[in-house]
Chains A and B, each alone.
Chain A
Amino acid sequence: MKHLIFLWLLVLLPCQFAGAHHVLGRPTYSLNEDSNTPPSMQVETQIGAYFVSYMAFPAFPKPNEAGRVSVYATRLDDGTPFEGEITFSVRDDGWLDNWHPSRKEVLGVQRPNDNTHRQGFIFKEEGDYIITAEFEAGGEPYLIDFPLRIGEPLSVGPLGIAVGVIAAILIGVNLVQKKRLPRAEKRSGRAGA
């Protein structure tokens, strides 16, 4: 169950966070210079006894555009590739989903091909999603979440929250001051008399 911690890590923290060059779990974007294909996104991470590489192609898929995710998992101790089945599922990655995760939809169950587990997808709607790769090894469950953005959803949420918080503070302070100032004036008037 300790590997469920990772699930929480990615759920509690905004999933668009990218690790620095020295931190695993950082989405990086790269071009295949040998062909004219769009860029791909890679994320590397470490979980339990495994080192996992995840690749999404294309990096920025659009609605109704076919794409695929690939997972390559190897044991940390001897580099042996994972040969069991991996279940791929998807759910929304919204602000509210951090507290009330939305319904999961299974994309498919894949066996490795050339040591890599591949899963195709087509999304109809724009949005931020979480792809979960789930497998069992050594009697323990492994859950690995990766962010995937389809299209270009608007990011007005944080901006709206910031403006709302600032407005609430300013209105609150004004209301308090409206009560405080007459009282202070009365007090100073009495003191003067």
Chain B
Amino acid sequence: MIYCSADGSFIMTHPGLPESWGLAILALMLLTLVWAVRAPLAASGMGRPVLRLPLIGNRVWAAGPGIRLALKLVTVSLFLLVIAAGLFGTPIPERNLASVLTWNLWWSGLVFSIFFLGSAWCAVCPWDALAQWLVRRKIGGRAEPNNSLNLRVPRGLRGVWPAMGLLVGLTWLELGLGITLDPYATALLALLIVVLATASLAVFRRKAFCRYFCPVGRTVGAYSQLAAVELRPIDADLCARCETLDCHHGNAIVEPCPTGLVMGRLQQNTYCTSCGNCAQSCPHGNIAWRLRPPGIEAEQGARPQWDEAVFMLALLALTALHGLSMMPFWEDWMRDLARVIGDSGRLPWSFSLGLLACLAAVAGVYALMAAATRRLTPSRLPFKRYLATFAFAALPLAFAYHMAHNLNHLVRESAGVSRVVQNPLGTSALPFSMAEKQIRHMNMLTWQDTIFALQAGLLVLGFLVAVRIVRQRGAALLEAERAGQGWRLFPMLLFAAGMSGFNLWLLMQPMLMRL
């Protein structure tokens, strides 16, 4: 679709979900909402049917560092190529590997990998690999710890607050300054993150960058609570009797857990980087990958933490902002706002206000609904506990919309990547002509109806999981008060429905192409 903007220029857009799809999803959501309000709350959750995945668990991750090292070499090579292409290649974004690989493939595709592989990306992350090799000066195995100052992270920086600040900053660079369309700036960002990861590893104990600072790692960690896989003990009793805690401390040849976890006590994927050190160091071979119902951790297992709750709400707001800022009318809004506040140039103040408004709106509505839920329940539990507990419901809403939105980028904008691979620096390459843009637009990786069906399915699934989380978490909160009626959770259910409805509306709008 070609859209004519207010200033008369023509912009290419992806079509939104058809109205019929939207109405069907809306009807399904309403029916679910009615059921969720009327049905009595079940105090006990579902069981934990888990399946072991021996092929992945024992032959790849636990067998030794060889395969992981090979994968790291691949990601590091690609990462260095991105930096080279960004610094020395063409500034035309669609012809430069730095922008295409980073934003169209990796950034768009990462969110899908989380669902199937959890935080596996962190295990092969090139930032951490480079930092590890530079600081520890060892490619594999246990390194000399004295190469780092091994300081404790200051108390004020513990938690996900630093990562959240960096995530908001990254969103500002991505959507506000348009770094996605600038290969040079993309390379600068890549270099900056390597410097931060290296400095953190050189100064702090274990991998503080992964644990506290990395915006990508914390996003992966938050979403991986909804992953279909987990790295866990095979026999929990064996872990309970364990006295050596090799998974935490490591052994003579295997590094300790980079984020300081103890497998026997692990309840959630959030801080697991899937490095597999625990699987290698466990003397009993008691750690393996397992399949699980995707929502189970957010519904029951994960412990509510205040900082993580705010992070999950920020994810919800930022994913919505991603969609909102790619609507053709967003630019007109920003221009109008700029005229009111006297902003000029790239309108950074206008965008910053828009970003803050988006964060504040989601947080404000959520807090209002949490307060209303508390009023409807006879519980005297602290309000903060309500805020932290129900924030898990934001996670599937954000995750589902994030995937549905990224499907457009991935499927509609990835055609023709092979040309960039053949000429990564885009030497002598010309910009896309209008005809090429049209061809790429038409040559999607799959049929349009398949995209619509997947997007609709994701939104519905996200809403259903969110409803389950509200009911499960609500049942656990209300159980002590013997007031487990579903209608008492109506405000939180309304929040989930409202955000899903907003995300649905966003998906139904035509969306601007990224490149």
Contacts and interface: CB of A to CB of B under 8 A. Distances in A.
Interface stretch (B261-269, B328-336, B357-365): B328-336
Interface residues of B, number: 60
A158 B431 contact: no
A61 interface: no
B487 interface: no
Given A22-B330, A24-B347, A149 B91 contact: yes
Interface string A14-36: 10111111111111111101000
A44 B6 CA distance: 13
A17 B179 contact: yes
B325 interface: yes
A151 interface: no
A47 interface: yes
A174 B136 CA distance: 11
A31 B430 contact: yes
Given A6-B344, A10-B345, A31 B91 contact: no
B184 A155 contact: yes
A21 B326 contact: yes
B178 A170 contact: no
| Residue among B134, B180, B347, B512 with the highest chain A CB neighbour number at 10 A | B347
Contacts of B194: 162, 166
B342 A2 contact: yes
A191 interface: no
B404 to A, nearest CB: 19
Contacts of A6: 344-345
Contact of B433 (A31, A45, A174): A31
Contact of B346 (A24, A31, A59, A173): A24
Contacts of A22: 175, 178, 325-326, 330-331, 334, 512
A47 to B, nearest CB: 4
B298 interface: no
B182 A18 contact: yes
- For chain A, which range describes its interface: under 10, 10 to 19, 20 to 34, or 35 or more residues? 35 or more
Given A39-B430, A158-B191, A177-B147, A46 B345 contact: yes
Interface stretch (B198-206, B367-375, B461-469): B198-206
Nearest to B202: A173
Query: Does more than half of chain B's interface fall in helix, strand or loop, or is it mixed?
Result: helix
A139 to B, nearest CB: 16
Contact of B514 (A21, A156, A169): A21
A46 B199 contact: no
B1 interface: no
Contacts of B147: 173-174, 177
A51 interface: yes
B177 A158 contact: no
A20 B185 contact: no
Contact of B344 (A27, A39, A48): A48
B426 to A, nearest CB: 11
Given A76-B339, A155-B87, A173-B202, A45 B346 contact: yes
A45 B345 contact: yes
B188 interface: yes
10 contacts: A2-B342, A9-B345, A16-B182, A17-B178, A17-B346, A20-B180, A21-B11, A24-B346, A48-B344, A173-B203
Nearest 4 Cβ contacts at the A-B interface? A20-B178, A25-B346, A19-B178, A29-B431
Interface of A: 2-3, 5-6, 9-10, 13-14, 16-31, 33, 38-39, 44-48, 51, 59, 76, 149, 154-156, 158-159, 162, 165-166, 169-170, 173-174, 176-177, 180-181
Interface of B: 7, 9, 11, 83, 87-88, 91-93, 134-135, 146-149, 174-182, 184-185, 187-188, 191-192, 194-195, 198-199, 202-203, 325-326, 330-331, 334-335, 338-339, 342-348, 351, 430-431, 433-435, 512-514
Given A23-B331, A24-B346, A76-B339, 4 more contacts: A9-B348, A18-B91, A18-B93, A159-B83
